[in-house]
Structure 1
Amino acid sequence: MIHSFVGKIQKGISHFVHKRHGLNAELDAEDVREGYFAVVAVKNGEIKKFIIGLEYLSDPEFLELLDQAREEYGFIQRGAIAVPCRPQQLQTILDGQR
């Protein structure tokens, strides 16, 4: 199932932040360039937006977060993908691939 989810991401992601978590600011087109997508880390009241390169779609730790997002939120998410983790946890994953 996660491969289906990843396929949907790669086909195109809208440029609007998902409003489920009270994030009502829009991302401008220049904020999300080709080859990138928006992710919002949400946990225990902590919220932070990230613009992430498509290369993270092959990172096992990031894919685990996507699987957790699927379990918690389902596949119906609009705009930025909400992942159920603290922003520091997502930042650690992103820093690990550099």
Structure 2
Amino acid sequence: MGIQLMGITHAKQKLQRSLSAKIAGVLATSNVPRGHIAVYVGEGYRKRCVIPIAYLNHPLFQGLLNRAEEEFGFDHPMGGLTIPCSEECFASLTSFLSSTS
């Protein structure tokens, strides 16, 4: 009986550690700095990018948001804002926007 209880206690501790690690991993990947937003970019495989919220008001970025609305509406497959353009196009746009601000 004592050995069986030790096994249950050990199993419970392992489960708690593994759940804690998974929760910590989710929290680490979901952190977005204040004043920023996470978006998903790419065709096929979507890459997660974090951008300043100020970019959303720029006319060039508004064009991408209009394309996203036409393609996805409000039902984004990634659970977040999905931008339908290539990673290279998005990198060029964000590089331009960061140099102008």
Does the TM-score normalized on the shorter chain lie above 0.5? yes
- The corresponding residue for 1:39 is 39
Higher strand residue share = 1
- The corresponding residue for 1:57 is 56
Are residues 65 and 81 of structure 1, via their aligned partners in 2, closer, same or farther at CA, if it must alter by over 3 Å? same
Displacement of 1:92 in angstroms is 0.6
Counterpart amino acid of residue 50 in structure 2: I
- Length-normalised TM-score, structure 2: 0.61
Are residues 57 and 46 of structure 1, via their aligned partners in 2, closer, same or farther at CA, if it must alter by over 3 Å? same
**Secondary structure at the counterpart of residue 28 of structure 1:** helix
- The corresponding residue for 2:73 is 74
* Distance in 2 between residues matched to 1:83 and 1:46, nearest whole Å: 12
CA offset digits 1:56-91 (Å, max 9, x no partner) = 011111111111000000013364311110011111
Q: Which runs of 5+ in 2 are unaligned?
A: 1-24
Question: Matched residue pairs, number?
Answer: 73
The alignment yields a C-alpha RMSD, in angstroms, of: 2.4
Q: Which runs of 5+ in 1 are unaligned?
A: 1-24
Identity over aligned pairs, percent: 30
- The corresponding residue for 1:96 is 96
- The corresponding residue for 2:19 is none
**Which entry has the higher C-alpha Rg, 1 or 2?**
2
